Structure 1
């Protein structure tokens, strides 16, 4: 990979590649599925662009969050920063270590929300996450877990 690309772990609606490419045209899906151990998927903040809760992650021993690994150029990361944290406090870009299907540990960045409570996602938003997970071929047990999340 060229040095001007940075790796991004998408676990929410950005797993849907068509959505991601509208936001970050340089995004390249690489090594497809990745997992982040000892974290769980949560909806702990209300969206700035969605009525319901938006996806984030928080630490939880023994839990796993699956997602996709993208490479993108720095200007697209800056665009994604503006989308994910338009008020400068919604999400923080943080470095995490994920495992790929080929059992490689990879340092990448992801966005973790500043918690504001517990919220239900909209059905449309949750459908984006489920569609991205299904297209990517995430484990069936994880997709089932996503389908069991209540929405509004």
Structure 2
């Protein structure tokens, strides 16, 4: 038995998600209507992580990717996403499948206590951008991601940084800073 997961942040990059949930398989790109995206979820490292935020703007929408994952790995995703501590898991979040045009519920995670002034690390933003690029999400989304203010993480021993660079390398993104500058 499996579930459908909507990724809109760093988990869009298959190597990142499959390191957490080995059964994850891409279904299609999708869109969360009436939601924008911010980097206002506080990570364990103090930096900003992606979260969806409801928006009343008429054209508000955030693209992402639908994955099918074996239900036996849901607890692994909950752990990776700090479900109940940093993110709330929603199992009936409506998204529009870009291949079929149908809207259906998916599982996703949204920050339970956003902190608007947070800034993402360079490697984290690069993961999100690489996932967007990998799945050919709209260029305006990539441009918006590249415009997000970020901070270069000088702690080269940070576990999250090491894991992120490994996932990026698996998809041939060997220079994450060039990716952020639009040179990859």
Above 0.5 in TM-score? Answer: yes
**1:130 matched to 2:129:** yes
Task: Please tell me whether Structure 1 or Structure 2 has the larger radius of gyration of its CA atoms.
Answer: 2
Aligned equivalent of 1:42, options 38, 44, 47: 38
How far apart are the structure 2 equivalents of 1:15 and 1:111?
13
Q: Tell me if structure 2 keeps the 8 A contact 1:51–1:122.
A: no
Aligned equivalent of 2:88, options 81, 92, 116: 92
Which residue number corresponds to residue 11 of structure 1? 8
- What residue ranges of structure 2 are gaps of 5+ in the alignment? 152-184
Count residues in correspondence.
Answer: 146
Moved more, 134-143 or 111-120: 111-120
How far apart are the structure 2 equivalents of 1:122 and 1:56?
15
User: Structure 1 residues 46 and 106, CA, compared in 2 at 3 Å: closer, same or farther?
Assistant: same
Question: Structure 1 runs of 4+ off > 4 angstroms?
Answer: none
How far apart are 1:77 and its partner, in Å? Answer: 1.1
Aligned equivalent of 1:64, options 57, 61, 65: 61
> Per residue, is there more strand in 1 or in 2?
1
Which residue number corresponds to residue 27 of structure 1? 24
Which residue number corresponds to residue 115 of structure 2? 117
Q: Which has the higher contact order (CA 8 A, sep 6+)?
A: 1
* Aligned partner of residue 128 in structure 1, secondary structure: helix
* Aligned partner of residue 25 in structure 1, secondary structure: coil
TM-align CA RMSD: 1.2
- What residue ranges of structure 1 are gaps of 5+ in the alignment? none
TM-score relative to the length of structure 2: 0.76
